[in-house]
Structure 1
């Protein structure tokens, strides 16, 4: 799915069933079920064989994950599951629409970033976005994919600002007072 699909919170229709992106406000009900699917699939594709094995191994989690992003009951989903091809198409669509969550990234072991990320909480991520100008209510209504992309963008913007500030500090350190005043005045314009 492309950036605009994520940012506009679009959905896809499959056999008269609307498949939505998971929103951050529903993330806590999604994760316990979806994490099982994510770990099962890992970096494999969404082939029919893998989806068949997934459903055979984790039927409850598959149904519960799908139920979080469609407007039909679990009972209706079970009726849909009778038609294997139709159900696989629905499951594949749920995985594709929510690919931002299901893409598997191997954990980075022993790296400094891995140690730092284990100390972070969701509140840290929310605060980071809030400090970048987002509002709590807006974040909660974001899809997971949009949340992830906004977070990456805010981190990139923060790094760019740090690079810029480092350049300014370096220039100030090596400039005489007249050159620095001119440089500083140019920044005001």
Structure 2
């Protein structure tokens, strides 16, 4: 899905069933079911064979994950599973619409462990310091949250590079050159 799909919280319809993006405010419920799907799929495609294996291995989690992003309850989804191809089409849509979550990233091994574990509050604070509001973050889709977080990190790195250049210029410049450089920043 493209950036505008994520940012505008769009959904898709499959046979008159709306498939939505998961929102951050519902993420705790979603993740407890969807994590096993993510780990099963990993880097595999969403072929019918993979989806059949996924449903056989994690049927309850598949149903519960789908219920989080459709208007169907668990019982309706179990009934829909009788139509195997229709059910797989709906499951493919759930995986596609929420592909940011299901994109499997191999854990990064670091030489030294972080002294302080990052939490969701750290991510929220990072976005808040970039100008977002808590209420807005909670209503973001997971895909938009992920992209805004990456964008804020990129902006932060760019600002650090810029500040490093300014510090280096100030350190190596004579008074006249630095004053000229500083005045140029005001324009």
TM-score (norm 2): 0.97
* In 2: Cα distance, 1:21 partner to 1:132 partner: 23
* In 1: Cα distance, 2:111 partner to 2:82 partner: 46
Describe the SS at the equivalent of 2:49. helix
State the Cα deviation string for residues 77-116 of structure 1 (Å, max 9, x = none): 111111000000000100000000000011111356xx44
**Pairs within 5 Å for 1:10-49:** 10-49=10-49
Describe the SS at the equivalent of 1:58. helix
**Pairs within 5 Å for 1:19-98:** 19-98=19-98
Describe the SS at the equivalent of 2:69. coil
1:156 equivalent in alignment to 2:167: no
Give the total of aligned pairs: 187
1:184 equivalent in alignment to 2:165: no
What is aligned with 2:134?
Answer: 136
Post-superposition offset of 1:186: 1.1
* In 2: Cα distance, 1:52 partner to 1:131 partner: 44
Give structure 2 stretches of 5+ with no counterpart: none
* In 2: Cα distance, 1:46 partner to 1:117 partner: 38
* In 2: Cα distance, 1:140 partner to 1:117 partner: 28
* In 2: Cα distance, 1:139 partner to 1:110 partner: 29
State the Cα deviation string for residues 56-85 of structure 1 (Å, max 9, x = none): 111100000000000121111111111000
Describe the SS at the equivalent of 1:107. coil
TM-score (norm 1): 0.96
What is aligned with 1:173?
Answer: 171
Post-superposition offset of 1:178: 1.3
List, as ranges, runs of 4+ consecutive aligned residues in structure 1 with deviation greater than 3 Å.
115-118
